[in-house]
Amino acid sequence: MNQLRAENIVVSIKKTPILHGVNVEVPAGKIVGLIGPNGAGKSTLIRALLGLLPLGDGRVTLDGEDFKNLSLRDRASRIAYAPQGAPVHWPLTVDHLVGLGRIPHLSPWRKLSDADQHAIEQAMVLTDTTHLQSRIATTLSGGERARVMLARALAVEAPYLLADEPVASLDPFHQLQVMDILRQQAADGAGVMVVLHDLSLAMRYCDEIIILLNGLVLASGTPSDVLTDDNLRTAFSIRASRWQDGDTDLLLPTTWTD
Amino acid sequence: MTGLMNLPKSVIIIICLALALGTSWMSLSLGTVSLTSAEVWRGLWGQADPAINIIVQELRLPRLILGLMAGATLAIMGAALQGLLRNPLADPGVIGISASASLGAVIAIYFGWTAVSAYAVPVMAMSMAGVATLILFALAMRDSSALTLILTGIGISSLATAFISLVMNIAPTPGSVQDMVMWMLGSLENRTITDLWMAGPFVLAGWLMLIGTSRGLDALSLGEDAAHSLGINVTRMRWQIILGSALSVGAIVSVCGGIGFVGLVVPHMIRSFMGSAPGRILLPSALLGGAILVGADMVTRAVTDFGSLRLGVVTAIIGAPVFLLIVYRTRDSMR
């Protein structure tokens, strides 16, 4: 089956162990939410899945192939990454910035082809950023920039997408819009892993949820299996109020003292 | 707006190329003896008067080529380092190689080796640049951040400057101190084909190392992780650019002395005309850098009232106000 998979991976950063044997799967066509308290190792797991960190043990496989055997360029064209915080170090125009997502597909010295151009336009349409295309990325608002960075990741047109807190700086409308985009990507066949802090968004949008706690997977499975009172208490020291609005399951985190 | 305007890269390249060719031709024509275009042309092929042949082929042409090479190298390496370190303040001096080359030159002057051989200064300068490159690699080789690289460069630079001060401090005569200072202010005066042969291979090697880094530098605008996720081997690119600039800038400083501001300002000038993508500005920066340095060298030749005006003085006096103007014009997008 097509999936991006971490098998029992162990990762240390500067000799501090962060992940202690983690198994996760991002199946094609599914949107997998990665949640957990600050410092649980979520970003480290994402970076390990991208091959950005050396593995102490275990392995990462992409559609069954060991990551180590894949070239940098091959990985790049198959896994897109939207990093947390989305820095832009130079005042680039938005269309140029989104176009950087085509780098894995370009042969040396070649300009953007029509297909590249189409992918860039499509990514901007999906993220509602077409009207920003000649703006300078460093002058955008936080929400605009987050959507532009997502467009940059979508422009890769990779079968897998790893998004690290893509909705962190967005207003409610754009949070929902971004989650809708990610769900659409999954519906179109992509395997999506998204780091979230908003449990209700995770509940509503994710096909599967993984709770990471202290470098270990505490629970994984469907939202209703994972977001149990016990798990929320163990991972976040919170409880949850739950109700239904039509077909939508809703969840509101509350503290134990409330 | 990114800057003053946003012209296509091809237009910028053509304009910069025209500027480089124009200043080059003027540099061959103008001087103590002014030559017509026809005389220059015939002189280039050795078909003019013997005196004109010598002026064009042996005096002005090596100086012109060295000027183009120096300006282009300083500017393209400045642009590459600014992109690599994601820092608009970076210049070729930031990795400490320029100051180290100067230390080599100053040592050669101190011991009077200039009297032994005209090439004592460039050879010593290149040797010290080489030593500094080894130190830089030893200290910052392992997966260090851009900031560590800058700080290591500043450290090496400070150390070299400290030793330069020491050598000047204990210099035997005021005359040798003056020689040292004058050398450090940079010049293309009296440079010959031999200087070209000495610096040329290192400069060429440095340039070749930049091949293929343009796209990686663009991707690096998104940070190292994102660049890596786009298939860029960031570690390899970093050492390509550091080693490339160490080789080429070290060689240029060794034969030309210290020439400030070209490496810092020219990339910013290009950015204000064609946007900030760090990979796209490399080639135009090189062309404009060559043109500007040849132009500045003509100023030093034209202004004869103050003895010999040094090249580094002219580039700094022109460069600093231009830099301030660009910073002022682009202050909104540079945050």
Tell me if chain A has a CB within 8 Å of the CB of B8: no
Each residue of B312-329: pLDDT tens digit? 999 999 888 988 888 887
> Length of chain A, please?
258
CB neighbours of residue B48 within 10 Å? 21
Each residue of A52-90: pLDDT tens digit? 999 999 999 999 999 889 999 999 999 999 998 778 889
User: Dihedrals φ, ψ of B4, to 5°?
Assistant: -75, -40
Pairing of strands A216-221, A57-62: unpaired
Tell me if chain A has a CB within 8 Å of the CB of B223: yes
Tell me if chain A has a CB within 8 Å of the CB of B230: yes
Cβ neighbors of B163 (< 8 A, separation 6 or more) are B103
Q: What is the pLDDT of residue B334?
A: 61
A252 strand-pairing partners: A241
| Residues in A touching B223 (Cβ below 8 Å) | 83, 87, 89
Is B215 in Cβ contact with A90 (below 8 Å)? no
Residue B34 in this model has a pLDDT that exceeds 60:
yes
CATH architecture label of A3-254? 3-Layer(aba) Sandwich (3.40)
Q: CA of A222, closest CA in chain B: separation in Å?
A: 29
Each residue of B66-97: pLDDT tens digit? 999 999 999 999 999 999 998 888 888 888 99
DSSP letters, B165-227, are HHHHHT-SSHHHHHHHHHHHT---TT--HHHHHHHHHHHHHHHHHTTT-HHHHHHHTT-HHHH
Helices (H) and strands (E) in chain B, counts: 15, 0
Q: What is the pLDDT of residue A80?
A: 96
Question: In percent, how much of chain B has pLDDT > 70?
Answer: 96
Fold adopted by B9-329: ABC transporter involved in vitamin B12 uptake, BtuC (1.10.3470)
Residue ranges of the domains in chain B? 9-329
Rounded average pLDDT over A95-118: 88
Is A88 in Cβ contact with B221 (below 8 Å)? yes
> Length of chain B, please?
335
pLDDT band (50, 70, 90) for residue A244: confident
In chain B, the largest separation of any two C-alpha atoms, in whole Å, equals: 62
Tell me if chain A has a CB within 8 Å of the CB of B330: yes
Residue ranges of the domains in chain A? 3-254
Is B231 in Cβ contact with A103 (below 8 Å)? yes
Each residue of B283-301: pLDDT tens digit? 999 999 999 999 999 999 8
Half-sphere exposure of B239 (CA within 13 A, CB side): 12
Output the average pLDDT for chain A: 91
CB neighbours of residue A246 within 10 Å? 4
For the entire predicted model, the pTM comes to: 0.90
| Residues in A touching B226 (Cβ below 8 Å) | 81, 83
Tell me if chain A has a CB within 8 Å of the CB of B4: no
Please tell me which of the candidates B226, B233, B276 has its beta carbon nearest to residue A90. B276
Q: What is the pLDDT of residue B331?
A: 74
* Lowest mean pLDDT across A4-8, A240-244, B176-180, B305-309: B305-309
The residue of A89, A138, A161 whose CB has the most chain B CBs within 10 angstroms, and thus the best one to mutate to test that interface, is A89
Give me the interface pTM, i.e. the ipTM: 0.91
